[in-house]
Amino acid sequence: MPDRSKTRPRDPNQLGHRIFLESIGELPKTEPPAEPAKNPAAVALGRLGGLKGGAARAAALSPKKRSQIAAKAAKTRWSKKS
């Protein structure tokens, strides 16, 4: 999360003055910092592992164990107070 206190002052008077100066063109407008670009190769590898993870886990579990996990999940899901 960006540190917003470094882009604009926190003091209301200074902030108002800065906004005024930005509106009349005396100061350039402050923009949030751009997010760093992701490595496409790393994204592809992560997605590849994520796509096969659930299927591999399901194949490794016995039907009885899968049923127990599903029952526990359903019980937890329905026992939550909204």
Tell me: the pLDDT tens digits for 52-61?
Answer: 888 888 899 9
Q: Is residue 75 predicted with pLDDT exceeding 90?
A: yes
> Which pLDDT score is estimated for 80?
76
| pTM for this prediction | 0.39
> Within 10 A of 25 (CB to CB), how many other CB atoms are there?
8
Residue from 33, 3, 1, 27 nearest 15 by CA: 27
Q: Is residue 5 predicted with pLDDT exceeding 80?
A: no
